[in-house]
Chain A
Amino acid sequence: AQSVTQPDIHITVSEGASLELRCNYSYGATPYLFWYVQSPGQGLQLLLKYFSGDTLVQGIKGFEAEFKRSQSSFNLRKPSVHWSDAAEYFCAVGYGGSQGNLIFGKGTKLSVKP
């Protein structure tokens, strides 16, 4: 069965430090991969997505993610975190033919220290 694992429930980083949020997936075929961000009291906003092609994808707000098929991973990175990046981040895998068939991870909450 398809699944998405975000092993870190909560991460705290200092402002200006680099960030990497982990995501591993289990899916038999080539996955469609997404990262979403959710600020408190808000809905989900798409940060970036991978469908095919270059395995390093750039997103909004200075985020990037790298698809590594051999590791079944799609980790999210940012070289320098800003206080406004504090939020919850969700990795998701799409399967079948429908955008609606997204499987989400449980999320990683990011806190940013001044």
Chain B
Amino acid sequence: ETGVTQTPRHLVMGMTNKKSLKCEQHLGHNAMYWYKQSAKKPLELMFVYSLEERVENNSVPSRFSPECPNSSHLFLHLHTLQPEDSALYLCASSQDLGRSLGYTEAFFGQGTRLTVV
């Protein structure tokens, strides 16, 4: 248990569905992240939030829409996904972005296994 909780753990959705992934942390961290882990590919950073503001968006398709309503919660809204979007989606948090204090440790959730059919 790392203190980062993701729900649901598994999700199967059709290409026309709309669903949301949820991430919650009660570690008092200020930064939260979404990563995509596909088979045989390195982890890909999707979004970075610091103090509820998005600070990085790594050219992610618009069918993925993040939302950070407060520093403890992060959502990933999904709509009209493609089968190639099937992957493990990992949420992580860290104390801050590490820009002034050096790197801080990132704590990962267990992930949501997404299958798009």
Inter-chain CA distance A104–B43, complex, in Å, is 6
A-B contact pairs, 20 of them (CB 8 A): A36-B108, A42-B111, A43-B6, A44-B90, A44-B92, A49-B103, A94-B98, A94-B103, A98-B97, A98-B99, A99-B31, A99-B96, A100-B97, A100-B106, A101-B45, A101-B56, A103-B42, A104-B43, A106-B42, A107-B42
Interface residue tally for chain B (C-beta within 8 Å): 30
Interface residue tally for chain A (C-beta within 8 Å): 25
Chain B residues in the interface with A (C-beta under 8 A): 2, 4, 6, 31, 33, 40-43, 45, 48, 55-56, 90, 92, 94, 96-99, 102-111
- From B40, B41, B98, B110, give the contact of A99 (CB < 8 A): B98
Nearest chain B CB to A100 CB, angstrom units: 4
- From B43, B48, B92, give the contact of A98 (CB < 8 A): B48
User: Chain A, 99-114, contact with B by CB distance < 8 Å: what is the 0/1 string?
Assistant: 1111111110000000
